[in-house]
């Protein structure tokens, strides 16, 4: 076994390469190109919204409150009423508040004490809804 110990030219001597190997650089650029081609369409999605124009003259419509007590008594904005006359009293209350208009735009809020039977609450909601008021809310008070 022979070995060459000196560092001369010889048959297996390597020459210095002065060229830059661009293959890894091109590979990285292609990977980045693919990543951006996939990521950009998902980041540029938009949703078209038809937003209403702001006007300073509109005032929000205040809701009319209906309260149901444990005894079954109904109160419309603090005044006693009956289930049979609730629709007419609601109309009169909205007219008195200066909110005479379409019933679908008027808001009614219903509150009930804790021990009011579900049937009593539901009967009030049904009367209000059948009379044409569709914006009906239930007021929840924190008892703690």
The C-alpha atoms of residue 45 and residue 137 are separated, in whole angstroms, by 36
Average pLDDT (19-35) is 91
- Which residues, 6+ apart, have CB-to-CB distance to 102 below 8 Å? none
pLDDT at 133 over 80: yes
| DSSP 8-state class, residue 98 | T
Q: Which of 106, 116, 104 is nearest to 69 (CA)?
A: 116
| DSSP-derived 3-state class of residue 101 | coil
Sheet holding 74-76, edge to edge: 79-81, 74-76, 64-68, 107-112, 135-138
In contact, 66 and 110? CB cutoff 8 Å: yes
Q: What is the pTM of this model?
A: 0.55
Placement of tokens 């998902």 in the chain: 42
5 or 68: whose pLDDT is higher? 68
pLDDT tens, residue by residue, 82-111: 989 988 899 888 888 877 777 777 888 999
- Residue 26 pLDDT grade (very low, low, confident, very high; cuts 50, 70, 90): very high
How much is the mean pLDDT over the chain?
Answer: 81
pLDDT of residue 29: 95
Average pLDDT (60-71) is 84
């Amino acid at each position: 076994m022979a070995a060459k110990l000196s560092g001369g030219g010889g048959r297996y001597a390597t020459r210095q390469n002065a060229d830059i190997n661009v293959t890894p650089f091109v590979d990285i650029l292609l990977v980045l190109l693919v990543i951006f081609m996939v990521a950009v369409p998902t980041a540029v999605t938009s949703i078209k919204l038809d937003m209403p124009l702001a006007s300073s003259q509109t005032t929000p419509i205040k809701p009319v409150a209906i309260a149901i007590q444990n005894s079954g008594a109904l109160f419309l904005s603090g005044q006693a009423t009956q289930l049979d006359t609730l629709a007419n009293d609601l109309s009169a209350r909205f007219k008195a508040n200066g909110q005479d208009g379409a019933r679908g735009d008027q808001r009614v809020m219903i509150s009930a004490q804790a021990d009011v039977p579900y049937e009593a609450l539901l009967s009030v909601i049904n009367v209000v809804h059948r009379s044409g008021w569709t914006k009906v809310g239930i007021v929840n008070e924190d008892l703690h």
